[in-house]
A = this chain, B = another copy of it.
């Protein structure tokens, strides 16, 4: 099995050039279980994996991946951007004390009786965030 081939395909399909940096970040993001990252977390992880990539490129890459639908951005906290590798419909616990997100499976919350979007707008996403703190 050729290493990286799944990530190569993933990037090509998305219309992004499979550069060394994008491949390495894709591997970190999509190589295992679903996860929630901030730019800083991913950058640190890349360093530790001996992947030289600048923080600016990590930011660019996270946004590019989000634009092509490989990631989903979660507004859990007004001070930091979180990205989720699970782009399917589901919601989150936000552990305020740890600054950490946890998935809630999509079928564990019912959201219904949704109002229609305001005149002239379309719905981009529906986020349910349950903020919890230590007790």
Are the C-beta atoms of B118 and A95 separated by less than 8 Å?
Answer: yes
Within 8 A of B (CB), among A76-94: 76-82, 93
Shortest distance in angstroms between A59's beta carbon and chain B's nearest beta carbon? 12
Shortest distance in angstroms between A130's beta carbon and chain B's nearest beta carbon? 5
Does chain B have a CB within 8 A of A121? yes
Given contacts A78-B79, A122-B132, 18 further A-B contacts (CB under 8 A): A75-B75, A78-B82, A93-B118, A93-B121, A96-B124, A104-B115, A109-B113, A109-B115, A110-B110, A110-B111, A111-B111, A117-B130, A125-B130, A125-B131, A126-B128, A126-B129, A126-B130, A127-B127
In order of increasing CB-CB distance, the 9 nearest A-B pairs are A121-B132, A78-B81, A122-B135, A124-B131, A117-B132, A110-B113, A125-B131, A108-B115, A127-B129
